[in-house]
Structure 1
């Protein structure tokens, strides 16, 4: 396949929009795995304390590389916990708490407890 035969992509300097999973389609095991990781729980906890679309991906202070952080966001999207949208050069985040709570009542609250 030559470059001319390749399907159109996002173009230079652009990225593909994030893919989201409907929480209603998430198996319990995927939700538990997403919340089992301490870095992901930190991301979810910080999003729970922020308003919708207030936090960009680069605003989280976690001890991981940018690539690893992207993977954590992908896992959270795949578990139906996170919604993302692009706003210029930033990718903004929203915790899908109402949707996730409807699917797994009490699980997010339990995972966010610090005691």
Structure 2
């Protein structure tokens, strides 16, 4: 049983996703390595529990961090296969790859959702 909302449908006008590993290429050690950083864990948790739209920009989180630092963290999450990002003009929007992660690592997202900082 999940503790987060069901994934939202992809809007018909959504751009193609940025390059990411395929579901079969997701590796547990890479995913856990990306989640080992508290900020990245917070990003994934907030997308799981607080997302009200399909994609969210970096500014939606309200982090007081330099843009270059946030870019690095989002890139690490995408490279690990935790989030999908799409380019909308000058901004990138993100959401968690719930279906892929649940298929590869059942229960992992429930642990992330239950995590207390």
Per the alignment, in what secondary structure is the counterpart of residue 83 of structure 1?
A: strand
Q: Please give the alpha-carbon distance, in whole angstroms, between the structure 1 residues aligned to 2:34 and 2:46.
A: 15
- In the alignment, what sits opposite 1:89? 90
Runs of 4+ in 1 over 6 A off after TM superposition: none
Q: Please give the alpha-carbon distance, in whole angstroms, between the structure 2 residues aligned to 1:30 and 1:54.
A: 23
Per the alignment, in what secondary structure is the counterpart of residue 62 of structure 1?
A: coil
CA deviations on 1:44-69 (whole Å, 9 max, x unpaired) are 11111214533112222224321111
Larger Rg: 1
Q: Please give the alpha-carbon distance, in whole angstroms, between the structure 1 residues aligned to 2:66 and 2:93.
A: 18
Q: Identify the structure with bigger relative contact order (alpha carbons < 8 Å, sequence gap 6+).
A: 2
Higher mean displacement: 33-42 or 88-97: 88-97
Matches within 5 A, 1:50-89: 50-51=51-52, 53-89=54-90
Q: What's the Cα RMSD here?
A: 1.8
| Runs of 5+ unmatched residues, structure 2 | 1-16
Residue 99 (structure 1) aligned with residue 110 (structure 2): no
Q: CA deviation at 1:20?
A: 1.2
- In the alignment, what sits opposite 1:113? 114
TM-score (norm 2): 0.74
| Runs of 5+ unmatched residues, structure 1 | 1-16
- In the alignment, what sits opposite 2:4? none
- Contact 2:40-2:77 within 8 A present in 1 as well: yes
Q: How many residues align?
A: 99
